[in-house]
Each structure stands twice: as structure tokens, then as C-alpha cells.
Structure 1
């Protein structure tokens, strides 16, 4: 079981670690460095200070300290990773700022009072969960880490604001999305294998090679009648299965432990069929389905609500991503990665 008090303490430690790092930086460099812009979005700055106080950066620094020690800043590998990760965090901050600006423009920005209230509610829940509601124990824990409740709350306000802006934008954009019975029926007819009484099963063998050309050579040999097991033992790059003739055993048709492209290719095979070259994240495969067990498909009426929920979710995600991409494209964004400290 996860020790929640330890997680809580680690979180405090991460905050303090970055706070100490920040103080050191201020002593060594001009205060202007902290206030320098690392990005400008439609005239609004994101500063080094804001970047370093982002919860994701705090977690990043805590992980660096854990892996490389307190002197992580003198480790070339650590500083390179931190810089790269900070650039990704900055990209997320830019997106959040674009969304906040758009929420203000659309007059759907959550009020400061609501954000503050929700943040306080989360802190109160934390007090109850970790400290049985004992205010003095909570304050003592903060004090031990050199923190005030206000500083701790400020972090939650930032997180809650991001979450609630995203929710407001999502509700605004997707309020008119409707899924028709025709869409549900079409999806059902194209994906009946997803709605069987039990997950379909298939017994598979595969040969993994590095390139498409290599896979085509394997397929050619098999088409000429060579044994799948023999070819697998000779050329397969999958050390776990090659000596077994590429045997993967029997797996469920919806098994998410396998690469999605691999599974799509395997599911398309009939019993006894050998695939053409199929690419996955691991290389190129030739797959053989030696046995297939299929189950009856549920009636549309039994899965209609499930399909509707799935299609609504997919449509909302697609629309939101398209809009955010367009808003970022339309925004005047200047990134200044060289200023990241």
C-alpha cells in the first residue's frame, strides 16, 4: 500500500528543495534574471520565476536531486535533461496562457473567488486525509519544511486555475456536440469485434526483423513453403520467442499489452493466415494466426449507450485539440529558451 504521508512529505521536500535552489540563484545572479521573460504570449510574459515555481518544474527538480544528488546542477547530463524538460513544461505553460486569454475573451473565465475556494477545499481535504483534520499538525509539517500555508495554497491555486480554465473551455466548445443513432449504428457495424460476449482470442506466432525489406524477404520465404518455426528461429529478433518458433501463445483480441499496430494487424488475420509486413514500435513483423476463437456479438441495444459515450468523448477531444492548435497558431508567441535558468 502506498504510504500517503510519505508522499505528502516528499512533496513538501520537493517544494523546499526548489525554494532553496531559487534563493541560491537570486544570490548569484541579478534579480532581473528571475523576472526575465522565457516566453511572451500576445504581449503577456511568462517569466523564469513562474517557470521555476510551476509544480511540474518542482517535481522535475526533486527527481533530479533524488537521482543525481544535491549537486545535480554541476552534472552535465542532469542539466541537459532539466533544460529539455523545462522547455516542455514551458510549452504547457504557453498553452495554458493561451487558454486563459481565450477564456477571458469569451467571458467564461472562472472567478478568482471560486478558484481560491476550490483550492482551499482541496487543502482542507488534505488536512483531513493526512492529519485527521488537526490544524496544528498540518502547520507543524509546513513549518518543518520552512513553508507557510499561503505558499502552499498558492501552488494549489495555480493547479486549480489550470484545471478549471480547461473545464470551462471544454464545456463551451463541446456544448452542441450531438451523436446521432446513425453514427452509433455505423460505428457498431465497423467495430463489432469490440462488443463480443467475451473477448475474442487468437493464438499467434511472429517473426520480428529490423526493416521492411527484411520482413518482405521473410514473407517471400514463407510463401515458398518454408516452415514458419524454422524461419523464426533463424532470423527473428525477438529473443523471447524465436527459439519457440515465434510462438506468442493465446492472447485476447483486445490485449493492450501489445503494440496497437501489431494488434490491428493480428486481428485482421483469419485462422491459418500469415500477414504481410506490419510495422510496430519494435520493428517489422510477420504474424501468423494459428487459431482463432470468436464469441457472439452483443446486440446494438446492449452497447448503444457505451458507444454513444465513446463517440461523444472522441468528438469532444478532437474538437478541443483542433481549437487549441488553431488558437496557438493565431496567437503571437515568442519563445526565449536561452533565458531559461
Structure 2
């Protein structure tokens, strides 16, 4: 009995609003029950669920909980619909809303394309859409119209906020000067470094490094592997103690340094090669900087657009006339 009562209340409420027609008013613009139903399209939703999951469909359509869930879905769609109406009005305020003629032509072309691809008459398409649970052709046309108007309003408003997107040479140069380190390749040293706790081992090991013994031969003789064997950025203290860099940066390539003590450890260091550091010129990185600045401006434009729209929304007069009988 309780379930029947809930469905009767919901049904009577929907009938009442079908007569009154207006479910919300947004800055004086009426949002009708027809518009809301087109956006929610519960019939299509339920048809899809019925085709994919009969059990879930039965729960949705025969229980109080299912009725409440469907109602919550519709209320969420109504909220989204109001926001879309608001954004179209926001675009109108900016002077960038699409004109009705353009939107209508786009929708008409879309319908013509469907008729051609499906090889149907309008009457056949009308019946086909009803079978799919999408309403009659006119309902579908109206839905396409609103969706197209909203999407064009969104695109036009974004373009409006990007009007100052052009990046000047002065901006590129300024960014380069402030971020020159990003475009600088540090000097690199090709090093062979061994470490041991014994001074005499380090001394004989150094002589073998000078003689050109291979790493495999050194491993067999001393049971030591190099702690560094390759290129290292200058002053990289994660691999080389800072005190050693003073000697490394003063050496010429091919030099095997005298054994160096750091704490209780002894280092044998050979400087095999040196790559001089360099900084890319402004002309080499100008395009990269330009793209970076454009991306930054795009992000700023999006943020400003959202901020201005939220202010417009808060200043708007929104009246939701529909009151759900089962969702509070």
C-alpha cells in the first residue's frame, strides 16, 4: 500500500506540473516540464536498463526506493538544465551567444544528415526515434537545438576570454631571462671513481687505474666495483662528495687524481672526459616559450571564465517551482 501511495503522489504531482508547465524560472526565462523531460529522457533511460538488466529495471519501476532514485536523477538533471540556461544567458550578456538562425540551420543540417544516412523519411525517422525511447522527431529537434545553443555559447565564451591570447616578443624575452636556468645544460664529467677504506689499497688501485686495468680486472684483484662510471653533472653531490669536486673541476681530461681522503674513506678518481656546459639561445627556445606562455594564458582564461560565470550565477534570480513529493 505504501509503494502504491508513493507512485500515486508522484504521478499526481507530475500531472499537476504538466498543466502548470513551468518547473523553474531563470532570470525571467521559463523552464518548462517539456524541456526538463527532454533533458532527463527517463523513458530512454528505463528502456536501456530494461534491455540490459531486467532485475534492476524491476526494482526501479516497482519499488519506493526505485521511484526515489529516478526522482533524484531528474532533480539533478533539472539543476544541470538550469546551469545550462544560465550559461546561455551569460554568453548573451557577453554578446557572444549564437543567433537562433545559425543554431536552427545547424540542427536542420544534422537532421538532414540523419535522414540521408538512415535512408528514411521524416515520418519514418519520427517512428524510429519513438521506438528508441527518444520521443518524437520534434522533441529530438528541440533537444538538439538546446544542446547546440549551449555548446556554441560555451565555445564562443571561451574564445571571448582568449581574445588576448597573443604572445609578444617582449613576453618571450622576459620569460627567457627569468628562466634561463631551464635552458642551461650544466657541464658534465665522465668519471671513473672507486672508494675504499684502506689507504694502501687506494694507492695501488690508483696505479692500476693509471696503467689502464679494466673494471673486471680491478674487481677480481680488489673485489671493488666503481661507485661512479659515466657522466655526472658538475657539483652533483649525490654521487661525488663536494670536497672532491674542487679537484675534479681543476683537472684536465685524462687525469687520474691523487688519492683523496674524505672522512674515513679514500677515493680514486679518473677524469676521462669533460663536456662543457652551454645555454640555449633565445632563438632556439622562443617557440617552446611561446607555447608555454599560451598554455598559461589558456589556463588563466578558463579560470577567469569560471569565476565570472559563478558571479553571474550568484547574482541571478533563480526560482525552482517544482517541489518533489518524495525527495526532500
TM-score with structure 1 setting the length: 0.49
Give the superposition deviation at 1:187.
Answer: 12
Superposition pairs of residues 63-142 of structure 1, within 5 angstroms: 65=50, 66-67=52-53, 68-69=56-57, 72-129=60-117, 131=118, 133-135=119-121, 138=125, 141-142=128-129
Residues 309 and 121 of structure 1, relative CA distance in 2, 3 Å threshold: farther
Shift of 1:317: 1.0
Contact 2:162 2:301 in 1 (8 A): yes
Which residue is 1:333 aligned to?
318
Residues 166, 294 of structure 2: 8 Å contact kept: no
- The residue correspondences of 1:273-284 to structure 2 (distance < 5 A) are none
Residues 60 and 69, structure 2, Cα contact 8 Å, conserved in 1? no
Bigger Cα Rg: 2
Structural mapping, 1:237-316, within 5 Å: 300-301=285-286, 303-316=288-301
By how many angstroms is 1:119 displaced?
A: 1.0
From 154, 161, 166, the equivalent of 1:166 is 154
> Runs of 5+ in structure 2 lacking a partner?
1-7, 184-236, 240-278
Asked whether 1:40 is paired with 2:25, we answer: yes
- CA–CA separation in structure 2 for the residues paired with 1:187 and 1:32: 68
How far apart are residue 32 of structure 1 and its match?
2.9
Counterpart Cα distance in 2 of 1:58 and 1:191: 61
Give me the whole-angstrom Cα distance separating, in 1, the residues matched to 2:149 and 2:325: 24
1:178–1:312 Cα contact (<8 Å) kept: no
Say if 2:91 and 2:153, in contact at 8 Å, map to a contact too: yes
For residues 153 and 43 of structure 1, what CA distance do their matches in structure 2 show? 24
Are the aligned partners of 1:57 and 1:89 in contact in 2 as well (CA < 8 Å)? no
CA drift of 1:332 comes to: 1.7
Distance (Å, rounded) in 2 between the aligned partners of 1:107 and 1:26: 41
C-alpha separation in 2, matches of 1:93 and 1:52: 10
CA distance in 2, matches of 1:154, 1:163: 14
What is the CA–CA distance in structure 2 between the aligned matches of 1:186 and 1:328, rounded to whole Å?
40
Query: 2:244 — aligned with what?
Result: none
The CA RMSD measured in Å over matched residues stands at 4.5
Find the aligned partners of 1:53 and 1:139 in 2 and give their Cα distance: 15
Contact residue 179 and residue 311 of structure 1 kept, 8 A? no
CA distance in 2: counterparts of 1:340 and 1:46, whole angstroms: 19
Following the alignment from structure 2 to structure 1, what is the Cα–Cα distance between the partners of residues 318 and 126? 41
3-state SS in 2 of match to 1:110: coil
Task: State the distance in 2 between where 1:312 and 1:150 align.
Answer: 42
Q: Deviations over 1:163-198 (max 9, x none)?
A: 1222233333432344456379379949969xxxxx
User: In the alignment, which residue of structure 2 is the partner of 1:322?
Assistant: 307
Q: Is the 8 A contact 1:39 1:333 kept in 2?
A: yes
Cα deviation for residue 116 of structure 1 reads 1.1
State the SS of the aligned residue for 1:86: helix
Aligned counterparts of 1:105 and 1:115: Cα–Cα separation in 2: 18
- C-alpha change, 1:95 and 1:121, in structure 2 (3 Å) is same
Q: Distance in 2 between matches of 1:313 and 1:340?
A: 45
Displacement of 1:322 after TM fit?
0.8
Counterpart-to-counterpart distance in 2, 1:322 and 1:151: 34
Gap regions ≥5 residues in structure 1: 1-23, 194-269, 273-296
